[in-house]
Amino acid sequence: MSVTEVNMKARTGWACLFFFSVAAFAQSDRGTITGTIGDPAGAVVASAPVEARNAETGALYQAASSATGNYTLSQLPAGTYEISVTVPGFKRFIRQNVVVSVAGTLRVDVELEVGSASESVTVVEAAPLLKTESGELSHNMTTERVDSLPVINLGFGANLGNVRNPLQAINLIPGSSFVNDNTLRVNGLPANTQSIRIEGQDATDGQNRRENQVNQASLDAIQEVTVQTSNYAAEYGQAGGGYFNYTMRSGTNQLHGSAYDYFVNEVLNAGVPFTDAGISDSLKAGQHIRDTQRRHNYGFTIGGPIVLPKLYNGHDRTFFFFSFEQFRETQVIAKGLTTVPTLGYRRGDFSGATIGPVTIGGQPAIDALGRPLIQNQIFDPTTTRTASDGTTVRDPFPGNIIPIDRMDPVAAKIQGFIPLPLNSGVVNNYPIPAYTNFRHTTIPSFKLDHNLSSRVKLAWYYSENRNFTPGSDGIPQPITAAVVQDNVTRTTRINYDQSLTPTMLLHLGAGLMYMHQIFLSAPYDQSQLGWGGNFSAAQLFPQIVFGGDTSRGGFTWTTSHFAPYEYAKDIKTTANASLTWVRGNHTFKFGGEGLFEGFPTHTYSRAHGVLNFAQAQTADPWQDGRGVNANTGFAYASYFLGLTSGINDGAQATLRFGYHNFAGYIQDSWKVTRKLTLDYGLRYDYVTLIREQYGRNSTASFDRPNPAAGGRIGTVIYEATCGCTYFHNYPWALGPRLGAAYQINSKTVFRAGAGIAYGGSQTAGSARSANDFKTLSAPGYGETAGLVRDGNPLAPGNRFGNPPLVWPDYGPNYPLEVAPGVRPPISPFFHIDRHAGRPARIFQWSIGLQREITHNLVVEATYVGNRGVWWASPVLSIEDYNALEPVSLKKNWGIDISNPADRALLTTRISSPLVIARFPWLANPNNVYPGFPATQSLNQVLRNFPQFLGSPGFWGPPLGDTWYDSLQTKVSKRLSGGLTVDSAFTWAKELSNGVGADTSYVNSPGTNVVNDVFNRGINKQLTSFGRPFVLVTSFRYTTPGFRAEGKGMKALSWAARDWNIAGVLRYQSGEVLRTPASRNGLLTQLARDRTNNPAVWGGGETLWNRVQGVNPLLFDPNCKCFDPTTQLVLNPAAWVDAPAGTFGTSAPFYDNVRWQRQPAESLSLGRTFGLAKENRVRLDIRAEFFNVFNRLFLANPTPISSITQSPGPNAAAPTTRNNAGQLTSGYGFVNTFNGNGSQPRTGQIVARFSF
């Protein structure tokens, strides 16, 4: 089937779905009131008319009781209602102050009293806090509550640097955490698997779920948000870690409005630890740096009835609500610090780069010529030769100095752009001169509600989110990494509700989200570099990346960005519908939803060129695979000689990815008795994986012959030409749901539930890099992928005779011919697993008790658990590793990894007599495939696909698993006596295998350590982001006045009242520390390490073995008893490296080996000034402080990177210090440079006027 036929069928299916949904189907951001109507004798009253009147808009919602006396008012917008029941022969029943929340179900039973309808019985007290109608686990937060607490942090410690983010509020609820957009987690499920709904329809960023702020709504435009975390009804789905349901504010019968400003200034902040303001201002010597910071997050809202004098009166009928929010930030950053090459390095003198002897298993490393190796020793690649023992060696440069005339001329020109060091250090020797940056975000929104009649309601919502920043970094052009970000997102919704009969309600909804993002670096004409050939996007400066050890300096800055783009769009059309029917004791709901999402993109990913530099090109190749504790060679020396370790080249491309999802469900809420309610339902999800519209993105195929590799199996194909489809979407996503709520007595409720839910589509973040770029790899360890002076080896007219890169290029050109007759192995970009269309499946359950202590105080305790399977897991893809496995290696090739000679042979060049003696057919490398380089190692030959390295599995196989078990307790005290308190405690255990997040960019080795990909079970581990104990308490207290006589006492009463004290206190376990990564060389020998698998997010990582009874920590990280600038904190004696030829047996993380506890404590103090009676007009002013006690936080000495390929810690790493005796590296080194990780106290002033 061609991709055109697939697209046509998809469109036809979507059209059928749309018309079907309009007729019958969907989801809701509304709430429900339900109950039973009875007479004084306890008999049920049938056909009793029930009316709910919105206290603010006057909108009426009508229903009637069924034959069993049950009534249900569904699809109610969140707000406060008055319930009334009028039945002949009985007094009119009125219940006021009934608060309906998003996705909540509230029970209000009615007991009628005999009398006249002209008489009434009015109940005014608020409804009980007990949840008696559902086993669902959800948490509701109103904007009013969030606005009143110090939880929205604009200071630099928030790691957000942008407009107020409503997602920060999830830190208030049990089982949830939000560090930044990269790590939003709920109930132990992978980060960024949430679903965000605005007005009942999907508004999740389909490009990348870790970029939530680009399309967020204004906080003050949100009425409330409900976070559904477990056991939600069948109408909710296509979510993993949390279902976020936003309802937007509506106007009311009275004109209401507000104006506010969140003001940030550095005078409210503490200085950054471990910095000295005297570096730039001698008068401030000894003081900590406070970067100039000017932030205003201001805006206003206004809403009410639409009234046109003498023309139209919209009271009780038509309402508007308008919100405007703008974030403006100006920063002067004076504490920037980076490492630039020393004056010696710039002229080839690397004598200051060496550290100490290289060791193997604690013994000095001696190469084949009897020379001891020194870390960062520079070897001359022109002296490469085979030693008498068959291994490959080189000679070092005398004195570790490269003659200046050996410097690559283009490298010299680029070096001229790099600033000179400003101090004598080899690291952190360039304090970046103070520079400015700004960010502007503007979010206007408008909502219109219209009551066509008491039975028909219509609502329309529109919002826009504009964000712009130049992304300045203080580094001069053209080597700056500054990238201009210019984004706009528009979201609109329309909802239609109609009561067809008193017991039947129809809801229809439709929406559109349009996102347009620009991500560009500054222009630069590459021809000015004078190299052999420009890259395709010659108007941009290339990206230059340095790897390897930087403890002795070099250049730690990465220029440009690897994937700039002219634009990336996300166009999402949504539709939903539902039908609610009350019959007897049952409330049935039928519904469905659908969405169609496309991602038009014009990308320059790698089209401007990416040049990588590593230590291997100037190392002694003898060290490869030897299990050394450190390496010879130096990345900046490789750059000095112009020797790249890899080159990426891409073509500018305009492409369009897209996908469509739909779902249908049926559910029932069955009131078995007045005390027992059962909720059950069934949901069907059809979730498709994204694909390119015209089949122009490639995938690695492991079952087709490759003409470019002599017909070997393993090639690259395109849906446009292969006559195939890469994957099949999963058609059996059926999710049953069951919940129960039993009211044991008037104050106690037992609630339980279980169900199966399915996640949504994998995100399309990689679509920005899907322009089929080529990776030119080194033809062997220590060889170069190309010279800097040659520029683009695929440029038109290149000296190698290589054909220029075009897009789309459907030809069989993997691996590329980089020189006549030379085709080194390559990493194909990318691989889509044939089962990637299967969505994640989550089995979730909970069981708990809720108890009312007083009418305003409720406590609850719940066991919450889930098991997740089929999460996308590129790091567990055996095909993508293309690696060696010990058993088959011995069976097929006679190589035994327990034999030292065999292990050494694996990393020996095939030109070596040692290899040819065992494998005579390798005397001619073309026997592997035509063009296979003789400089390749034997382990590359023995791979299943020797023409390939690893393949990046962006849409990886559904092999990831998660486990979560927790006790979640919660105390809620509703406002009384001026005090509101909420407290939540979570005790949890979280495990995972191969998954940490929805996107591969967060599924790095830092979050998922893969010891042995061929033995999947042993990779089950503690989740790196998990915290076993979390306690969070929020409170707000308003001081009362007192009765007073006389002017003096009245003045004192006025001065004492209306002060607001609020706080959010979060205490949690520390972050786990990573087990050291083995240095025994096994994964290098098995072609599984970062060198062999650069595209599999770093590949595998076996581990050191733990020594029982020895504490891995030299100090208690919470003791405040060590100096991190001079003392290491980790104990290398607690570990012993795995013996050569074996996998480590340790776990990647241990629950009792954790870093410093870092509480989040924020407090606010303010005053409410009443400017009119009953505070109808008021002014609130408060000061908020985060990390209010200015606790010193230290960076994790084994950082868990969420988005990079950071290697594991090295327990044998040499310790280095700067000229002042301060640590710069070593096992247990805590990086304090520039206040890294310190998060000092920040403050902000909040002023709000409302009427």
> pLDDT tens for residues 1039-1083?
998 888 888 887 888 888 899 999 999 999 999 999 999 999 999
Task: Name the maximum alpha-carbon separation found in the chain.
Answer: 112
Which residue carries 């960010």 as its tokens? 439
826 pLDDT more than 70: yes
Q: Mean pLDDT score of the chain, rounded to an integer?
A: 89
Total count of residues recorded for the chain:
1251
In the listed set 810, 830, 856, which residue is the last one of a domain according to the structure?
810
Q: Is residue 375 one of the residues assigned to a domain? A: yes
1109 pLDDT more than 90: yes
Structure tokens at 111: 């007991």
Compute the average pLDDT of residues 849-869.
95
47 pLDDT more than 60: yes
Q: Is residue 530 one of the residues assigned to a domain? A: yes
pLDDT at site 1114? 96
1151 pLDDT more than 80: yes
Compute the average pLDDT of residues 1216-1225.
88
Q: DSSP of 42-100, one letter per residue?
A: S-B-TT-EEEEEETTT--EEEEE--TTSEEEEEEEPSEEEEEEE--TTBPEEEEEEEEE
Compute the average pLDDT of residues 1238-1243.
92
Residue 523 Cα to chain centre, angstroms = 30
268-320 pLDDT per residue, tens: 999 999 988 887 778 888 889 888 888 999 999 999 999 999 899 999 999 99
pLDDT at site 763? 76
pLDDT at site 191? 85
Residues with Cβ within 8 Å of residue 1116, at least 6 apart in sequence = none
pLDDT at site 1129? 96
* Alpha-carbon distances of 746 from 98, 267, 934, rounded to whole Å: 18, 53, 82
Q: Is residue 786 one of the residues assigned to a domain? A: yes
Q: Considering only CA atoms, which of 94, 33, 19 is closest in space to residue 61?
A: 33
pLDDT at site 118? 65
Structure tokens at 248: 């937007």
Residues with Cβ within 8 Å of residue 1130, at least 6 apart in sequence = 1073, 1112, 1113, 1114, 1197, 1198, 1209, 1211, 1227, 1228
pLDDT at site 1157? 95
pLDDT at site 117? 63
* Max mean pLDDT range (424-428, 436-440, 1150-1154): 1150-1154
In angstroms and rounded to an integer, the radius of gyration of the C-alpha atoms of the chain is 33
Instruction: Give the span between the Cα atoms of 677 and 671, in whole angstroms.
Output: 5
763-806 pLDDT per residue, tens: 766 667 777 778 888 888 999 999 999 999 989 988 888 888 88
334-388 pLDDT per residue, tens: 878 899 999 999 999 999 999 999 999 889 999 999 999 999 999 999 999 999 9
In the listed set 137, 169, 185, which residue is the last one of a domain according to the structure?
137
403 pLDDT more than 50: yes
Q: What is the DSSP letter of 817?
A: -
User: Residue 542: is the preceding peptide bond cis (ω within 30°)?
Assistant: no
∠ CA 757-761-764, rounded to 5°:
155
Q: DSSP of 133-151, one letter per residue?
A: S---EEEEEEHHHHHTSTT
Instruction: Give the span between the Cα atoms of 6 and 1105, in whole angstroms.
Output: 51
> Following CA atoms 232, 238, 243, 247 in sequence, which dihedral angle do they give, to the nearest 10 degrees?
-100
158 pLDDT more than 50: no
- The confidence band for 160, taking pLDDT boundaries of 50, 70 and 90, is very low
Q: Is residue 821 one of the residues assigned to a domain? A: no
Q: Considering only CA atoms, which of 70, 65, 68, 72 is closest in space to residue 47?
A: 65
Compute the average pLDDT of residues 800-827.
84
Higher per-residue pLDDT: 133 or 1184: 1184
1007 pLDDT more than 80: no
Higher per-residue pLDDT: 1001 or 1237: 1237
In the listed set 115, 137, 159, which residue is the last one of a domain according to the structure?
137
pLDDT at site 571? 95
The SS3 of residue 879 is helix
20 pLDDT more than 80: no
User: Residue 815: is the preceding peptide bond cis (ω within 30°)?
Assistant: yes
Instruction: Give the span between the Cα atoms of 373 and 396, in whole angstroms.
Output: 10
The SS3 of residue 818 is coil
Higher per-residue pLDDT: 142 or 1241: 1241
pLDDT at site 159? 43
User: What single-letter amino acid sits at 120?
Assistant: S
Q: Is residue 1154 one of the residues assigned to a domain? A: no
- Let me know: does 252 contact 303? Beta carbons within 8 Å: yes
- The confidence band for 43, taking pLDDT boundaries of 50, 70 and 90, is confident
pLDDT at site 152? 86
1015 pLDDT more than 80: yes
Please tell me the pTM assigned to this model: 0.90
pLDDT at site 489? 94
Q: Is residue 1011 one of the residues assigned to a domain? A: no
* Alpha-carbon distances of 247 from 103, 244, 492, 495, 527, rounded to whole Å: 10, 10, 13, 12, 54
pLDDT at site 417? 96
pLDDT at site 806? 84
Query: How many domains, the chain?
Result: 2
832 pLDDT more than 70: yes
Higher per-residue pLDDT: 321 or 23: 321
1156 pLDDT more than 80: yes
Q: Is residue 417 one of the residues assigned to a domain? A: yes
1209 pLDDT more than 90: no
212 pLDDT more than 80: no
Compute the average pLDDT of residues 808-837.
85
Q: Is residue 788 one of the residues assigned to a domain? A: yes
209 pLDDT more than 80: no
Residue 117 neighbours by CB distance under 10 Å: 12
Residues with Cβ within 8 Å of residue 1114, at least 6 apart in sequence = 1122, 1127, 1128, 1129, 1130, 1131, 1228
- The confidence band for 605, taking pLDDT boundaries of 50, 70 and 90, is confident
Structure tokens at 1138: 């795995």
Sign of CA pseudo-dihedral 1205, 1206, 1212, 1216: positive
Q: Which domain holds residue 417?
A: 344-433+522-560+608-650+772-810
Compute the average pLDDT of residues 50-78.
88
Question: CATH no. for residue 112?
Answer: 2.60.40.1120
649 pLDDT more than 50: yes
